[in-house]
Amino acid sequence: MADHVEICGHRKAALWRDIDCEVLFDKLTNSHQRERQMSAWDPVKALELARTAVAYVAYVLPPDATLETMGRADKSVLKAEEHRDFDAYADALRKLCRVGRCEARRRAA
């Protein structure tokens, strides 16, 4: 696994397990709020958030984890994307990261 992560266009030395998904998403969504002008849906920012969320979940989630809980969270992401609601999309991706983190902690206990 790489020892760097890109957050808001800046490469940071970090391990995924040391990154708090809440802080990560706050940085990504706050930068979007500052850049947002006319359109509430920004496909480039949406892709950046999705990549970040998937990378985070892929790192923290054990290979033998139950994917049922992840599937429920993923449906929220797809619904928000379908409605092109960036705020709901970011919240759904944040929830997906939380679910992945909780499942990882449950497996480690």
Answer yes or no: is 83 within a domain.
Answer: yes
CA distance 7 to 98: 18
Residue 54, in any domain of the structure: yes
28 within domain boundaries: yes
Per the domain annotation, does 57 fall within a domain? yes
Whether 3 is covered by a domain: the verdict is no
Residues contacting residue 16 through CB under 8 Å, at least 6 positions apart: 1, 5, 55, 56, 59, 60
pLDDT of residue 19: 60
> Which pLDDT does position 7 carry in this prediction?
46
Q: From first to last of its 109 residues, what are the pLDDT tens digits of the chain? A: 445 555 444 454 455 555 666 666 676 666 555 555 444 788 998 998 999 898 888 888 888 887 887 888 889 999 999 999 998 999 999 999 988 888 888 887 7
Is 7 part of any domain?
A: no
Provide the domain count of the chain. Answer: 1
Please report whether residue 9 resides in a domain: no
d(CA 18, CA 78): 27
Helix (H) or strand (E) holding 36: none
Contact by Cβ (8 Å): 87, 94 = no
pLDDT at residue number 41: 85
Q: Which domain holds residue 83?
A: 20-108
pLDDT reported for residue 1: 43
